[in-house]
Amino acid sequence: MYLRELSEMDGVSGNEEKVRSFIEEKIREKVDEISVDVLGNLIALKKGRKGGKTLVVAAHMDEVGLIVSRIHEDGSLSFQPVGGIDPRILPGKVVKVKDLHGVIGYKAIHLQKEGERKGTQDFSGLRIYLGFSSDKEAREKVSVGDYVSFVSEYRENNGRAVGKAFDDRGGCSVLLDILERGVSPAYDTYFVFTVQEETGLRGSAVVVEQIRPTCALVVETTTSGDNPEMDRERWATHLGDGPAITFYHRGYVVHPRIFQLIVDTAKSHGIPHQMKRRSAGGTDAGRFATTAYGVPSGVVSIPSRYIHTPNSILDLKDYEHTRQLVQVLIEEGKIVEVIE
């Protein structure tokens, strides 16, 4: 499992080079063909035992983060989000700009007026402090347009993992594990590691235009929603109940035969699984379905608490059961055969 290494890498949308280089090095000798397209997607072909059909199995390399938008006279930095981030989780977080570590600051609570304490946070009131005393000093080290990544140590405890960027380095790690085990696909299978998913599903459109597969399977990390303070009825998934199988999410209704095939495969192999019970969020499957001739796609996800924050939580059994399900789908090939 490469979740630790992948989690601790920087790879905000549009800046996935480190992640891509790491994955390419690990899989180059385990696939039949490998290439990087003009947008930065990593595409690796593993030839199958049968011909006539092709499968894309995809996970995205990018993570949410920030980007420097202004350098102030006091040397502090304003920034904008890259991907979906709740600004309320940012004050006090450690971040990295290039090789410099800093802290996101906000007005101290004892200096806030009552209305400020009760109001909602937004990005305009936040600053990154890197220790500079002037804009001149700051400009010698950083520039507008520099990426900002969260700094978070990966940790494991009692069967759970905590770290950043599980969305979707969890999916990337699953695909790496499958290739490490010497997978034998039924049909030609493209293991695709996409870019810029968090900023509008950019990389996935380019992929299917090149490959034009029979169908696709997206391997994601999705919100669990089983926070202790939330009512059970609002949970999307639950940690420990296995991979989440999506039937519908924002912008895409999963192809019914693919959805049912994934469910039946999990049942027949005794793999714990659950349905994703809320439609919030989207995946590359939505882009696959509306690109080229419309590529029918399924989605299998690892549940995770607090995604899009510096500290997400996932259950390592869920991770392993996701790996098992995806590998079976690739090796049996039925997910391709249900498409007429």
197 as an active site residue: the answer is: yes
Tens digits of residue pLDDT in 195-204 = 999 898 888 8
If pLDDT is split at 50, 70 and 90, which confidence band does 215 have?
very high
Q: Which of 156-160, 253-257, 271-275, 318-322 has the lowest mean pLDDT?
A: 253-257
**Architecture of the 3-63+164-337 domain:** 3-Layer(aba) Sandwich (3.40)
**CB-CB contact of 46 with 191 (8 Å):** yes
Q: Is the pLDDT of residue 118 over 90?
A: no
Q: Apex CA 42: angle with CA 40 and CA 46, to 5°? A: 160
Residue 11 class from Cβ within 10 Å (0-12 exposed, 13-18 middle, 19+ buried)?
buried
- Find the mean pLDDT for residues 203-227: 89
Exposure string over 70-103, b if 16+ CB within 10 A, otherwise e: ebeeebbbbbebbbebebebbbebebbbeeeebe
256-268 vs 316-332: helix crossing angle, rounded to 10: 110
Percent of the chain with pLDDT over 90: 76
What residues does each domain of the chain span?
3-63+164-337, 65-150
Query: Given this model, what pLDDT does residue 77 score?
Result: 97
Q: Which of 103-112, 158-167, 198-207 has the lowest mean pLDDT?
A: 103-112
Q: Which of 24, 29, 116, 197 is catalytic?
A: 197
Handedness of CA 175, 181, 184, 186 (dihedral sign): negative
If pLDDT is split at 50, 70 and 90, which confidence band does 238 have?
confident
Q: Is the pLDDT of residue 87 over 80?
A: yes
Residue with token string 């696959």: 288
What pTM was estimated for this model as a whole? 0.93
Q: Which residues are within 8 A (CB) of 187 and not within 5 positions of it... i.e. 6 or more apart?
A: 48, 49, 50, 51, 52, 53, 54, 55, 214, 333, 336
Handedness of CA 164, 167, 173, 174 (dihedral sign): positive
Q: Which residues are within 8 A (CB) of 172 and not within 5 positions of it... i.e. 6 or more apart?
A: 2, 6, 19, 23, 59, 60, 61, 193
Question: Between 16 and 115, where is the model more confident?
Answer: 16
- Find the mean pLDDT for residues 155-161: 96
Query: Given this model, what pLDDT does residue 203 score?
Result: 83
User: Cα 70 from chain centroid?
Assistant: 27
Q: Which of 5-19, 178-192, 227-241, 282-296 has the lowest mean pLDDT?
A: 227-241
Query: Given this model, what pLDDT does residue 115 score?
Result: 64
- Find the mean pLDDT for residues 43-64: 96
Tens digits of residue pLDDT in 293-324 = 889 999 999 999 999 999 999 999 999 999 99
If pLDDT is split at 50, 70 and 90, which confidence band does 107 have?
low
- Find the mean pLDDT for residues 278-295: 83
Q: Which CATH class is domain 65-150?
A: mainly beta
Q: Is the pLDDT of residue 116 over 70?
A: no
